[in-house]
Amino acid sequence: MSDNPSQERLAVVTRVLSNNEEGLGPEVEFYFAYWVEAHELPETEAPTTLLFQRGTDWNVYLDGRQVSITLLK
């Protein structure tokens, strides 16, 4: 997952939440479709939690920047 291939990061998805489950009102549905929480790898004593937003434009965002997510098998 990266918006810059030279800065790829690995993470494991821990939860996928709707806007309602995230505690947001219906007005946010104009901007985001769902939320994905993940822990960055390699795991550390205090894991880094990443929060992605899937926009209604079908793009994925991390910290307000568009990124891509690749499923590794």
Write out pLDDT tens, residues 11-69: 888 888 877 777 877 777 777 777 888 888 887 778 788 888 888 888 989 888 898 88
Domain span holding position 51: 5-67
Residue 6 pLDDT grade (very low, low, confident, very high; cuts 50, 70, 90)? low
- 28-38 burial by CB neighbour count: b if 16+ within 10 A, else e? beeebeebbeb
Residue 70 pLDDT grade (very low, low, confident, very high; cuts 50, 70, 90)? confident
What per-residue confidence (pLDDT) applies to 57? 87
Tell me whether residue 32 is in a domain: yes
Ramachandran angles phi, psi of 63, nearest 5°: 55, 35
How many domains are contained in the chain?
1
